[in-house]
């Protein structure tokens, strides 16, 4: 498979769980602990997908998503909002800003999150 993802998550415990699950599924994983460093890593590494928490220090997930969508050479990067903010307005805001998917952490196991990201990337690879 060889997909490369960037996990932008300030909770170290969750970050470790998701990183392990994705690595076990054959993904190359990099992690950023806040929005600003996440955005910098997206620019430098151009991963296939970014999993983006919303509530983070220095720059929230919505700001990072907005910034990614302003950079033309990052147009192919899939962005998945991965948050516990499950209010309808949060989901709508994420999708309106250009997220490819919005996953609520509390409603999905890490295994389900991996499956959804894999499905998203495979669908875009098919065309």
Q: pLDDT tens digits, residue range 26-76?
A: 999 999 999 999 999 999 999 999 999 999 888 999 999 999 999 999 989
- Model confidence pLDDT, tens digit, residues 88-115: 999 999 999 999 999 999 999 999 999 9
- Model confidence pLDDT, tens digit, residues 6-27: 999 999 999 999 999 999 999 9
Contacts 24+ apart (CB under 8 A), 65-68: 65/94, 65/97, 65/98, 65/99, 66/97, 66/98, 67/39, 68/39, 68/42, 68/98
């Amino acid at each position: 498979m060889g997909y490369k993802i960037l996990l932008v998550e300030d909770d170290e415990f969750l970050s470790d769980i998701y990183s392990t699950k994705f690595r076990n599924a054959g993904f190359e994983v990099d992690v950023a602990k806040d929005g600003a460093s996440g955005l910098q890593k997206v620019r430098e590494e151009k991963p296939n997908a970014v999993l983006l928490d919303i509530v983070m220090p220095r720059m929230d997930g919505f700001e990072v998503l907005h910034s990614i969508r302003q950079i033309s050479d990052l147009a192919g990067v899939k962005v998945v909002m991965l948050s516990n903010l499950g209010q309808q307005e949060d989901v709508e805001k994420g999708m309106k800003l250009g997220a490819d998917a919005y996953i609520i952490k509390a409603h999905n196991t890490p295994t389900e999150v991996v499956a959804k990201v894999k499905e998203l990337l495979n669908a875009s690879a098919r065309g």
